Structure 1
Amino acid sequence: MRSALKWAGGKKKVVNEIASLLPKQGKKRLVEPFVGGGSVFLNLDFDEYLLVDMNDDLINLFNIIKNQPLSFIGDAEKLFNSKTNQADRYYQLRDQFNQSSDPYERSLLFLYLNRHGYNGLCRYNKSGGYNVPFGRYKHPYFPSEELHYFSQRAQKATFIQGDFETAFSQLKSNDVVYCDPPYSPINPTSNFTAYAGNSFSDEDQQRLVNCAQKAKHDGVPTLISNHYVDFTKELYKDASKKKLFQVQRTISPKGKSRIKVKEVLALYK
């Protein structure tokens, strides 16, 4: 099942790769410190889910879909029509989102902006303002089926806003952890880690590995995704197991830049 959100770096196409390396025997709860669009939790069966992300708008949206699915879906669909699929109206609604402090209104507009904005980006400026430009799609898709499915799956999930250490601080012995952090850049000009208004540095990448190693010591396996570059080769040198594969990158507006890149799954078990 697809996520209701368009999400740069979403994992729907590589869920099978993740599932092949993620330990499940004796594990009842999946913990995701970077839930993102939610494709992994939507497609892997566990008794429970603990899903964390730094993006407050994302977690707020997920909790509202979980708790108020029918009213939310009905209200959200009203924002998907020919009048709202115009650049001027998009920027008006983007301004409305940035000025709003109402959680329900922000959630409706967050879904609208996600589906009408450029290429599935979720980006904020340094002041916390959502600044993704208009996407110019002919007929933005309203994900009714995906929202209904998400609300059903979410009944077994707990969504929390916070740093990834928030998730690791709540681990139990029957947990398994999957981490999809903002990726290390392929090169300095391709760095895009500020999806939640905060950068994710090399030091943060190391801090994540430190959490994975501690969890391993406590008997909780952790699987981490990332680009396979010189930095991550060294970063994951002590992983119990690694798996390499190639994926298609489509975030670039230039077709010739949409090339396959190598990714790594690093398991600490």
Structure 2
Amino acid sequence: MKAFLMMAYALAKGKCADMTVAKPQLKPVLKWAGGKKQLLDRLEERMPHSYRRYYEPFIGGAALLLDVQPKLAVINDVNAQLLNVYRQLRADAEAVIETLREYDGVPCDKDRYLEMRQKYNDKITSVAFDVECAALTIWINKHCFNGLYRVNSKGLFNVPYNNKTDGPSMDEDNLRGVGNFLRNNDVEIREGDFEAACKDVQSGDFVYFDSPYVPVSKTASFTDYTKDGFTYEDHCRLARLYRRLDALGAKVMLSNHNVDLVYELYDGFHIEPVSVRRAINRDASKRVGKEVIITNYQE
């Protein structure tokens, strides 16, 4: 009887311990145009209650991924420097942290920023995707204007200095946490077109599209953070892919600007407008706007 009670106590204690274990709170490593920090609660509320595999073909700053922390995921982007950050953190977050400590040990001014930007562009030109390139991506992101990632026609980074002279370029615990999440879960990192990233999506999988947005006005241009741009035809391709995934039985969610073209492209699906505040805009008066969350399901 005593042995039975001891066993029951041990099981109950283990069960209670499991119930109190919480996943670490993780946040994006980089400030990224179109980042979803503001929309996280609303996106999570609209996610399916259950799904098999998590797909995010435009991973960007990975706010939703890092908040949800799925055990089985595929992430993708066309930005090789961005993906290198995730790969290096997964491989050895401490090496990235140590390199950033060295960078932060030198005071920053405009000349220092331009020197580091040139060093970064040398990495891009030589296709050197290593720890130093990842650390430079993070450091540059914290010292460039509004955290923008913009390149010229040659693919070289050309965002100006933001006049940040001191302060850390990183949250060390967060970098370690992101590295641990990517290393300890089945997270496949792909690089390429969004259609290719979804080649093996199956029924029951969840796909979240956070693509470059449709311009909010007719005078605005289709732009993104790669030298090739994201065109009107790309948006049409994305809408066609959305419909194919719907036909497969996948659960699909997409966010975009609240504009007529989006309603035309995703006619027939559930489209819900939401208010947002946009941080990356020269004109502060234009930092509030409307977006939409589009789903092919309602739960």
- TM-score > 0.5 by shorter chain: yes
Are residue 249 (structure 1) and residue 249 (structure 2) matched?
no
* Structure of higher CA gyration radius: 2
Would the aligned equivalents of 1:28 and 1:46 in 2 still touch at CA under 8 Å?
no
After TM superposition, list the pairs within 5 Å mapping 1:15-164 onto structure 2: 15-25=40-50, 27-83=51-107, 85-100=108-123, 101=126, 102-104=128-130, 105-141=132-168, 142-155=170-183, 156=185, 157-164=187-194
Q: CA deviation at 1:193?
A: 2.1
**After the TM superposition, which segments of 4 or more aligned residues of structure 1 sit over 3 Å from their partners?**
138-141, 188-192
| Distance in 1 separating the partners of 2:145 and 2:273 | 29
Are residue 7 (structure 1) and residue 32 (structure 2) matched?
yes
Would the aligned equivalents of 2:145 and 2:162 in 1 still touch at CA under 8 Å?
yes
Would the aligned equivalents of 2:202 and 2:249 in 1 still touch at CA under 8 Å?
no
Gaps of 5+ in 1: none
Are residue 204 (structure 1) and residue 204 (structure 2) matched?
no
Are the structure 2 counterparts of residues 252 and 75 from structure 1 closer, same or farther at C-alpha, using a change threshold of 3 Å? same
Q: Which moved more, 1:123-132 or 1:192-201?
A: 192-201
Would the aligned equivalents of 2:202 and 2:248 in 1 still touch at CA under 8 Å?
no
Residue identity in the other structure for 1:62: Y
CA RMSD of aligned residues (A): 1.6
Q: TM-score, normalised by structure 2?
A: 0.84
Q: CA deviation at 1:174?
A: 3.7
Would the aligned equivalents of 2:56 and 2:209 in 1 still touch at CA under 8 Å?
yes
Q: What residue number does 1:263 align with? A: 291
Q: CA deviation at 1:138?
A: 4.2
Q: What residue number does 2:6 align with? A: none
Deviation by residue 1:146-198 (Cα, 9 ceiling, x = unmatched): 21121122122111111101221121334200000000111245446221222
Give the aligned length: 265
